[in-house]
């Protein structure tokens, strides 16, 4: 069934930092190059180039370390602003230049972490897997990757996965949620360096600054990022769980990147645009607008095999407008329709089986 597309919710989000933001880059981008494979293939010039680049990076790091030693020992205070940061903001090549961006994997990671917290807090604890437990030694539910790795039937894989893995995916099960990279809205000038902050390690015995533990890191203090979040073949409760996590992200309660305990990484955001798409000849059209229906209604004949939640007959989004019709029906959702969407999804999440069971037990 998941080879077939039934519904799709696409959100364009805008995020802005309200506190300094740092998503760290790797120390050595060349460490992922397969030098051994290049040598085995007889591509010696490529292997030599890798060696030369690694040596140049090592020499640059050694020179910078010598300069930083003077700063750590209190010498050369006037040159403090010239020190190269120990931690740089991750960059990508875009529009013919390097510029900072927010990797979709980083954003999806913090969203998944918050969804796991929400699911454990308000639902049955044993209904959510421990992604780090491959052997079932934690006393709870072991990783869904381990549970479903021997299940050949895809429908049974979805049936047996925990709610968070149904939404975000795991080994052997594709995600319903996709998060794109977030790119700067305004042009970035690579000649202007990002602000640099300093920090110092703390001696845990004395509770004071540790000698020689001074470090520097880049931060992004202003700007705006746009990204796209897509839910495909979704159940309504998945919309609700996503809405709860996004609410925390939009209101600075879900820090992103390095230094969350230092006050870094808080963002504010909003939904810039939203579309709801159905696939097939018959649009989910009501007299007063669009019918909001999840995969639990659209694929009722497969509900038992996939363990879809019964979603009823759907809710009308009266403010939605049909932007495109045919084999693909795309509805544009204004702010009022998005709010109705969140409310409906949140209600579906609150009455999901793993939530009702806990409430009944109490």
Q: What is the DSSP secondary-structure string of 71-123? A: HHTT--GGGGGGSPPSB-B-EEEETTEEEEEE-HHHHHHHHHHHHHHHHHHHS
Quote the mean pLDDT of the chain.
84
Q: What phi, psi does 246 have (nearest 5°)?
A: -65, -35
- In this prediction, residue 64 carries a pLDDT of 65
pLDDT at 109 over 70: yes
Report pLDDT digits (tens) over 161-191. 999 999 999 988 999 999 999 999 998 888 8
Confidence at residue 71, expressed as pLDDT on a 0 to 100 scale: 55
| Helix residue ranges per DSSP H, 204-276 | 236-250
242-282 pLDDT, tens digit each:
999 999 999 999 999 999 988 999 999 999 999 999 998 76
**Domain ranges within the chain, ordered by starting residue:** 12-24+102-183+222-274+347-361, 32-83
Contact present, 228 and 11 (Cβ < 8 Å): yes
pLDDT band at residue 358, thresholds of 50, 70 and 90?
very low
Q: What is the DSSP letter of 221?
A: -
pLDDT of residue 75: 44
Across the range 137-141, mean pLDDT stands at: 71
Of residues 57 and 239, more confidence is placed in: 239
Q: Mean pLDDT across the stretch 75-89? A: 61
pLDDT of 55 over the 70 cut? yes
Residue 260 in 3-state DSSP? helix
pLDDT over threshold 70, residue 41: no
| 361: confidence class by pLDDT, cuts 50, 70, 90 | very low
Residue 263 CB: number of other CB atoms within 10 A?
10
């Amino acid at each position: 069934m998941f080879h077939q597309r039934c519904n799709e919710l696409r959100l364009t989000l805008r995020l802005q930092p309200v506190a300094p933001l740092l998503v760290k880059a790797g120390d050595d981008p060349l460490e992922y190059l397969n030098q051994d494979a290049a040598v085995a293939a007889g591509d010696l010039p490529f292997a030599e180039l890798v060696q030369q680049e690694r040596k140049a990076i090592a020499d640059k790091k050694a020179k910078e370390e010598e300069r930083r030693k003077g700063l750590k020992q209190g010498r050369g205070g006037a040159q403090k602003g010239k020190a190269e940061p120990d931690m740089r903001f991750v960059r990508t090549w875009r529009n013919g230049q390097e510029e900072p961006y927010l990797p979709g994997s980083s954003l999806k990671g913090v969203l998944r972490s918050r969804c796991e917290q929400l699911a454990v807090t308000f639902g049955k604890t044993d209904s959510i897997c421990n992604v780090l437990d491959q052997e079932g030694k934690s006393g709870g539910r072991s990783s869904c990757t381990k549970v479903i790795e021997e299940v050949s039937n895809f429908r049974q894989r979805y049936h047996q996965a925990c709610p968070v893995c149904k939404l975000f995916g795991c080994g052997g099960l594709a995600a319903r949620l996709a998060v794109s990279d977030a790119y700067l809205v305004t042009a970035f000038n690579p000649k202007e360096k990002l602000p640099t902050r300093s920090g110092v390690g703390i001696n845990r015995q004395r509770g004071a600054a540790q000698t020689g533990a001074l470090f520097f890191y880049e931060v992004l203090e202003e700007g705006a990022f746009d990204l796209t979040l897509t839910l495909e073949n979704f159940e309504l409760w998945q919309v609700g769980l996503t809405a709860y996590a996004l609410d925390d992200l939009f209101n600075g309660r879900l820090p992103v990147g390095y230094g969350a305990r230092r006050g870094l990484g808080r963002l504010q955001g909003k939904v810039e645009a939203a579309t709801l798409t159905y696939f097939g000849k018959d649009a989910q059209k009501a007299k007063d607008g669009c019918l909001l229906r999840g995969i639990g209604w659209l694929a009722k004949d497969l509900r038992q095999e996939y363990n879809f939640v019964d979603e009823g007959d759907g809710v009308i989004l009266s403010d939605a407008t049909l932007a495109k019709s045919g084999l693909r029906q795309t509805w544009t959702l204004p702010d009022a329709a998005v709010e109705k969407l969140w409310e409906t999804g949140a209600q579906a999440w609150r009455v999901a089986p793993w939530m009702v069971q806990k409430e009944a037990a109490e």
